[in-house]
Structure 1
Amino acid sequence: MKPTITIEYCPKCRWLLRAAYMAQELLTTFEDDLQGVTLRPSEISGRYTISINEEILFDRKREGRFPEVKELKQKVRDVVHPGKDLGHSDKSA
């Protein structure tokens, strides 16, 4: 079964748009590899986590920042489709 990504965001912080943008990027890049992306409003203020099948991949509080889209795509790729070429998202600066 294909994995599901969950983006849990703080609605009080107005992070829905950021979560939706990241969901769109992941669905576009991994359209054949994912079951879907779920956006979940958090009851905990300041929370912004991204998980795959309930395993946390990125936690804003732990990292002290939001993920870059390129970084997020690489982390997701490493779990759902390790051999996948991400094109320009794989190139270093």
Structure 2
Amino acid sequence: MPDPTPSKPHVTITYCTGCNWLLRAGWMAQELLQSFPDDLAGVTLVPGDMGGVFEIKAETTIIWERKRDGGFPDAKELKKRLRDVIAPERDLGHLDRDTRG
């Protein structure tokens, strides 16, 4: 009999080892696990090839790609993008509020 509960998505963060981006990748993994403790199956850090790779995927969906998206996301943007893919109906509280003026 099939499992009636949908499986939780898994996030993969691939980072350039030559650029020493392991700490950045680890911090982003921590932020995602803290914000989505019941929504994710896990976060895996993957040492990538040289050449500045930094990519965050939820299953096969690219959430962030450094070259495509221009640098690195801040925690707020990363969490919003992940939420939009895995749980679009979820309210992220203060992260969804416009704090400008």
Q: Please give the range of the TM-score, normalised by the shorter of the 2 chains.
A: over 0.9
Q: Secondary structure in 2 aligned to 1:57?
A: strand
Equivalent position of 1:78 in the other structure = 84
Unaligned runs of 5+ in 2: 1-6
Which deviates further from its counterpart, 49-58 or 29-38?
49-58
Q: Which has the higher Rg, Structure 1 or Structure 2?
A: 2
Asked whether the equivalents of residues 17 and 50 of structure 2 are also in contact (C-alpha less than 8 Å), the reply is: no
| One-letter identity of the residue aligned with 1:67 | P
> Partner of 1:12 in structure 2?
18
Distance 1:64 1:77 in 2: 20
CA distance in 1, matches of 2:48, 2:80: 25
2:32 is aligned to 26
Q: Which amino acid in 1 is paired with 2:78?
A: L
Seq. identity, %: 53
Structure 1: 4+ residue segments shifted above 6 A: none
TM-score by length of 2: 0.86
Question: 1:37 aligns to what SS in structure 2?
Answer: strand
